[in-house]
Chain A
Amino acid sequence: MARWLVILGLCLLFPTAFAQQSPGGAPAAAGSCVACHGPEGQGSGAYPHLVGLGEAYIRRQLDAFASGERANAIMKPIASGLSESQRQAVAVYFSGLSPVPADAAAGAPPDGPGRTLALHGRWQQDLPACVQCHGPGGQGIGEDFPPLAGQPAAYLEDQLKAWRAGNRPAGPQGLMGHIAERLDEDDLKAVAAYFAALPAAGEAGDD
C-alpha cells in the first residue's frame, strides 16, 4: 500500500516523466484520439476540433469527462482511461498544434438573430456578446476562452444545452453556465449555426 502511495506521489511530482513521447513529438496517448478528432486535431464530422484549445481548458475538460461532471458517454471511458500524466501530455500536445489554414470554401455566416447575439449580445437582458469572451470571429482568447468558429453546429448546440441541463461544469467563475442559462431554444440554434459557419482559423470577416 505504502509503496503505491510513493509511486503515485512520484507520478504527481513528475507528470511529464511518465508521458511516453513518440518519435514524432506526439505522446502515445494522443494516438487514439485522432480517429475522431482528426490527425491534426482538426475535428471530423460531428466531432469537435481540439486545435486552438488552451492547455488549461483541455485539461479541465478531460478531468470533467472522467469525473462525469461533464456528461458524455463516448469521452468518459476515454478520459478515465488516461492517467493524470497522460491527460497533461495530450493537453500540452493538442494545445501546441498550429491551426490549419481557414477553409476558404466555408460559406458566409447567415445574417440574422444568431449573428446579432454573437456580435452584439442582448444587453437589454444584461447578456454580453459571445465575441467579447470568445474573441473576434470566435477565434478564442488565451488559455481559458475556447474558439467556437468552425465547430460542428450540433456540438455547439449540445454544449449550450448541457449547461442548461446541469451536465457540464459552469467553467471558470461560472461565467459560461450563467450565459447559457439565459439563452432559449431559438437562441442557441441560431448562435450555434452562426459560429459553425465561420472559418475555424485565419482571418474572419469583421463587422
Chain B
Amino acid sequence: MNRSVLTVVAGCAVLAMAAWLLAMGLTGGPEDYVERYAGQSVTARDEASAVPVKPSAPGPSSSPSSPESGQAAAPAPASEPPPRSAIPDNEFGELVRQGERIFADTGRFAGDWVGNDLSCQNCHFDAGRYDKTASLRSAWPMYPAYRSKNQHVNDFAERLQGCFTYSMNGKAPPRDGQVIQALQAYSFWLAKGMPTGEAPDVRGYPDVGDPPEPPSFARGETVFQENCALCHGEDGQGRKATGGGTGFPPLWGPRSYNWGAGMHRINTAAAFIKAAMPLGKPDLTDQQAWDVALFINSHERPQDPRFTGSVQDTAERFHQHQGQYGKTVNGQVLGEHSPPSGTVP
C-alpha cells in the first residue's frame, strides 16, 4: 500500500468521526431524551426523569480525543447486557431470576399487583433487554431523578411502583417487598458496566420525528386494519394463544394500560410503534406511526388512577400533554365511560 492511500483512509476516518459528532449535536445527543419525551408542554414532563439539560456533546467517555493525543479514553459502556447464562447460582442470582420472571410474565408472578392482561415486557421487549424499547440497563443508572409526574425526586423503587399503578393498571407493590426487590436486583444486574449517572446513548424509545401532517384518526384506522389487527384483533382486544396462554396483548379496553400510563400519550406511542411495531418488521412511516398512535389512544381504557371525580378537572390537572383524555371522539368524551382503574384480583 502506498502513502497516499493511507492518507485518504485516515482522512475518511477523521471526517466520519466529525460527522458523527455533528450528528450527535444536531439530534441533541443522548441528553435530549428529556426534551423528546416531554411532550410539547414544558410543565408536563411526565416521563422525564431528570432536570432538563441543554442538548450538548456527549459525555466525557465519548468526547473528542484525537487518536494521536494518546489520551486514555474512559472505559466504554457495556455494549450488551450480560447473557442469561451469567446469572450466578446463589441467593442473589435467584432474586435476579425472580425479577426476570416477574418482568416477563407479570400477571403470573406478581398477580396481586396487576389489573390488566399486560406484562412489563410487552412494552420493554426481551424481558427489558432490548435497547430500542426503554431497556432496564439504560434506566437503572439514571435514578434517583426528579419526575414532574409526581413532582418530587423518585428513586428506582418508586419508578417501578409507578409502572404497576399506570401501565399495569394495578396497585403499587410495597417498596421493601419481594416484587420490587426482585425487579431492582434484576435491573441492577442487567446494568453491569453502565456508568452511574451518565445518560446512556440509547434510552427510552428512539425519536420518531414530527409528523409531516397532524395525526389523523381516519388514516390511523386504516393503518390499524392493515398492519395491526392481524395480531391485536379487529377490536384491539388482543388474542389468546391456542390453549389459553399468552398471545397478543390488548391495545385498549378494560384489560389494557390506563389513562395515566405513558403509552396513552400520542408522542410516546408513536415512538414505540415506529421502533417496534408491527412485531419483527417495524416498517411504518413516521406519519403512519403517529396516525395509528392517535387511533389506538382514542379508545376508552381504564380510568386515570388520579381521577378527581371529574374528567374535565382531571384533564386540566394531569393531562397537559399530547393525549386524548377528556377530548371528544365520535361524540363521546374519553374518560367519561372508562372502566375503573386498579382492578387487581
Interface residues of A (CB under 8 A from B): 52, 120-121, 123-124, 126-129, 132-133, 135-137, 139-142, 144, 147, 172-175, 178-179, 202-203
Contact = CB atoms under 8 A, between A and B. Distances in A.
Nearest to A202: B243
Given A136-B246, A173-B230, A124 B241 contact: no
Contacts of B132: 126
Contact of A142 (B130, B245, B246, B247): B247
Given A123-B126, A136-B243, A175-B281, 12 more contacts: A128-B125, A128-B280, A129-B126, A135-B246, A135-B247, A137-B243, A140-B241, A141-B241, A141-B248, A173-B227, A174-B281, A178-B280
B80 A141 contact: no
A126 B248 CA distance: 18
Interface string B101-135: 00000000000000000000000011101101000
B257 to A, nearest CB: 19
Contacts of B227: 173
B239 interface: yes
B90 interface: no
A174 B248 CA distance: 18
Nearest to A144: B230
A52 B242 contact: yes
Nearest to B281: A178
B11 interface: no
A153 to B, nearest CB: 21
Contact of A128 (B230, B241, B246, B279): B279
A127 B245 CA distance: 22
Interface residues of B, number: 24
Interface of B: 80, 84, 125-127, 129-130, 132, 227, 230-231, 239-243, 245-248, 278-281
A172 B130 CA distance: 25
B329 to A, nearest CB: 27
Contacts of A203: 243
Contacts of B240: 141
Given A139-B242, A142-B239, A178-B281, A124 B80 contact: yes
Contact of A139 (B126, B239, B241, B280): B241
B130 A135 contact: no
B125 A123 contact: yes
15 contacts: A120-B127, A123-B125, A123-B126, A127-B280, A129-B126, A132-B279, A133-B279, A135-B242, A135-B247, A139-B242, A172-B230, A175-B281, A178-B280, A178-B281, A179-B280
**3 closest Cβ contacts across the A-B interface?**
A135-B241, A136-B245, A123-B126
A140 B125 contact: no
A174 B282 CA distance: 11
Nearest to B79: A124
A174 B279 CA distance: 11
Given A120-B126, A142-B239, A173 B278 contact: yes
Given A133-B279, A173-B227, A139 B243 contact: yes
A139 B245 CA distance: 9
A135 B245 CA distance: 7
B46 to A, nearest CB: 27
B278 A136 contact: no
Contact of B129 (A123, A127, A141, A172): A123
Contacts of A174: 281
Contacts of B129: 123
A133 B280 contact: yes
Contacts of A144: 230
A188 to B, nearest CB: 16
Contacts of A126: 132, 280
A121 B278 CA distance: 16
A137 B126 contact: no
Select the residue from B127, B239, B242, B278 with max chain A CB neighbours within 10 A: B242
Contacts of A202: 243
A136 B248 CA distance: 11
B96 to A, nearest CB: 15
Contacts of B241: 135-136, 139-141
Contacts of B126: 120-121, 123, 129
